[in-house]
Amino acid sequence: MRKSKFILSATVLTLAFSSMLTACSSSNNTSNQPSATDQNAATSAPSAQSTATAQAEEKHDPVTLKFTYWGSPQEKTALEQATKKFTEKYPWITVDAIHIPEADYDAKITAMVAGNEAPDLGYMHGELADPWQKENKFVNLFELLDKDKELKREDFLDYIWFKSSADNAYGISTAGETFGLFYNKDLFDAAKVAYPPSKPESAWSWDEFVEVAKKLTIDKNGKNAADPAFDPNNIKQYGVSFETWYGPVQATVINNEGEWIGKDGKTFSFSKPEATEAIQKLSDLINVYHVAPSPVQAKSIPSQAIALQSKLVAMSMHGQWINLDLGAAKVNYDIGVLPKLKRSVPMGISGLSVIYKSSKHIEESWMLTKFLENPEGSWIYTKMAYGCLP
């Protein structure tokens, strides 16, 4: 998952990662049994499960929801498990979950909509969602939320909504995600190099980062990029890798206090010194220091997760969705903060989830949207990422 930006505080992200790990470790701890008070409370009030059972026992006409999404093979598995749980809870609703490779997603969705075969709901990239919301293609989620008996607007952080006005939310964040420095611990150990710092206040300077990347870039003769005899034309292991879509680039630009759009909302700022300097530093990793593969060379690497797993690269400047794939492959990895330029701050991104106005099942689409946004459904992703599922 990815796309669309906002900046998150390091404290919030640290707490988020900590709570994920704590919850995973506690989920297998059988010593945390409910107290007598908890059990009495449970019997004195109707549980969420009993409410859902009562709903399921009501008679409903069968409904099939067409839901489109992108993601890695592990994300696909997680989504399939989540929709299966949803149908178990609401047995009259079947979810036709259509996985589309992210590179083809916008073209495929555009063709579906043009052919009057739009899904009921699904993921969207912000770049396509913005013009479509101006064409009034999406349901206003605030109208559904305001009628909802379980939730209200105050239950949500304001920044997760994609809004065209104060009272029109055409989408909700699919997942709040951020970038970090993912690294293969085995390669660091073999090179006897210290692991990347995990706290922003201890982040490597850019020069320190480059020197580490040199030590971890190895040619076919076993020489690293810090060695005068290093052969840049025959590299078997790169020190670092990054993709060239806007996310990793923007994350680096932000750390140099640059921005895509000026604070006035009108000025293109990628041509300003703060941005161009950061972009040049990324370019130099490829063309000057030879510690990162070029975009052409990177085409032979299926994914950043496989690059780390197969030890083609030691570090990857990537998004946290990679946890699913690295965890499933049981890679010996960890996460550090991105190197510092003028500062070290994480950049958050998210795609959005929408409900199409053309849907004949808006109520059921809202039910699935809530399920996937709430811990009940989204926790499946977290469990898979940290290896907590049975």
Return the domain boundaries, the chain.
60-176+350-385, 178-348
What would the mean pLDDT of 250-255 be, rounded to a whole number?
Answer: 93
* Class of domain 60-176+350-385 as given by CATH: alpha beta
pTM of the model: 0.72
More confident residue, 159 or 331: 331
Mean local confidence (pLDDT), 242-258 = 92
In this predicted structure, the answer to whether residue 223 has a pLDDT above a threshold of 60 is: yes
pLDDT tens-digit map of 340-374: 999 988 888 888 999 999 999 999 999 999 999 88
Name residue 94's amino acid.
T
Q: What is the pLDDT of residue 174?
A: 87
Region 285-291: what's the mean pLDDT?
Answer: 98
Please determine, for residue 24, whether its predicted confidence score (pLDDT) is greater than 50. Answer: no
Could you tell me the fold of the domain covering 178-348?
A: D-Maltodextrin-Binding Protein; domain 2 (3.40.190)
- Give the pLDDT confidence score for residue 361 in this predicted structure: 98
Q: Taken in order 356, 362, 366, 368, is the CA torsion positive or negative?
A: negative
pLDDT of the residue at 347 = 83
Examine the pLDDT at 38 and tell me if it is beyond 80.
no
pLDDT band with cut points at 50, 70 and 90 for residue 72: confident
Among 285, 282, 180, CA closest to 225: 285
For the cut 90, the answer to whether the pLDDT of residue 314 exceeds it is yes
pLDDT of residue 379: 55
At 265 the pLDDT is 80
Residue 62 has pLDDT above 90, yes or no: yes
Q: Do domains 60-176+350-385 and 178-348 have the same CATH topology?
A: yes
Q: Taking a C-beta distance cutoff of 8 angstroms, is the pair 128, 110 a contact?
A: yes
Percent of the residues in the chain that have a pLDDT greater than 70, as a whole number: 81
